[in-house]
Amino acid sequence: MDTFAYLARRTLQALIVVLLVTVVVFGLLHALPGGPARGILGPQASAQQIADFNHEQGLDRPLPVQYLRYLNTLLHGDLGTSYTLNESVSSLIGQRLPKTLVLSLLSALVGLLLAIPLGMWQAVRRNRPADYVITALSFVAYSTPVYFLGLVLVLVFTQWLPWFPSQAPQGDTLGQVFAQPNALVLPVVAGAATMVAVFSRYMRAATLENLSEDYVRTARAGGSRPTAILFRHVFRNSLTSVIAMLGYYVPVLFGGAIVVEQLFNFPGMGLLFWSAAQSSDYPVLLGCVLVISVATVIGTLLADVVQRLVDPRVKAGETA
């Protein structure tokens, strides 16, 4: 019953945050220089053209009425129309978002599969030369800009060692993307590098904290093997902090995807956002911002739910 009440409260909080996100995006749309009409019609539009556009789109109505209308269109899946591509923003995002999700999920999966055992290994060998070396490499990876790392990967693995293509998979469908797995390697590595650096540090700290707990000393005194203690008890308890941070890492993944997709010419939402920014295509920009914000809210909600399931000791107020 407590778990159900917790889930209901977190879901309600997520819905409130999503509603606030729509308010912010609506405000950004109306904060454009000259308003939405000027942004869409361009700087050469006359005052009469702007007035006609505002009347046609209902932008001359009171702001509360406009917001309710905007909210209604969102509920119907309408994010507006791109005035440079002359296509609905929902359609554009629908075509690009699955590819970005694939790239982000693969990067996250590779990052976690490397970071979690690496962090535990460092904790077990705390203050040894290997720990110092990996810590130094983690700080270097964390401080290296994604675009610079991507350029290094391209230079090394497409020029000096021609193992992989310099471009990510090109195609309109996920089937076409997966048909070129070797072309996914460099974008995934570029997206996963920072995640390995960050989450290995979290896992190391969490493992060290759990290794100093009383239950570990009790298990050792009872004759349990160190590997059994590490994997049966410490591993699971250490995962809770990593899971909690994973939800908050969603916007970082999407932010990195913008750079990675532009660098490797991957036809995902990040490249769409980059192109829209260059052409001042505000409906596409705000549509992408809205989707990324909602994805962040959903990611944090799922992380809290999984954390609650993994560790029932987590109280509702501790992860809010």
Domain ranges of the chain: 2-89, 96-293
pLDDT tens track for 225-279: 777 777 777 777 777 777 777 766 777 777 777 888 888 888 888 788 888 877 7
User: What ranges make up the beta strands (E) of 242-289?
Assistant: none
- Whether the per-residue pLDDT at 137 is higher than 50: the answer is yes
Contact 103, 267 (CB under 8 A): no
Contact 157, 244 (CB under 8 A): no
What pLDDT does 2 receive? 66
If one compares 136 and 226, the residue with the highest pLDDT of the two is: 136
Cβ neighbors of 203 (< 8 A, separation 6 or more) are 115, 116, 118, 119, 120, 123, 238, 242
Cα dihedral value 267, 273, 279, 285, nearest 10: 140
What does pTM read for this prediction? 0.73
| CATH code assigned to 96-293 | 1.10.3720.10
- Whether the per-residue pLDDT at 10 is higher than 50: the answer is yes
β partners of residue 87: 82
Contact 103, 113 (CB under 8 A): no
pLDDT tens track for 21-62: 888 877 777 776 666 676 666 667 777 777 777 777 777 778
If one compares 162 and 224, the residue with the highest pLDDT of the two is: 162
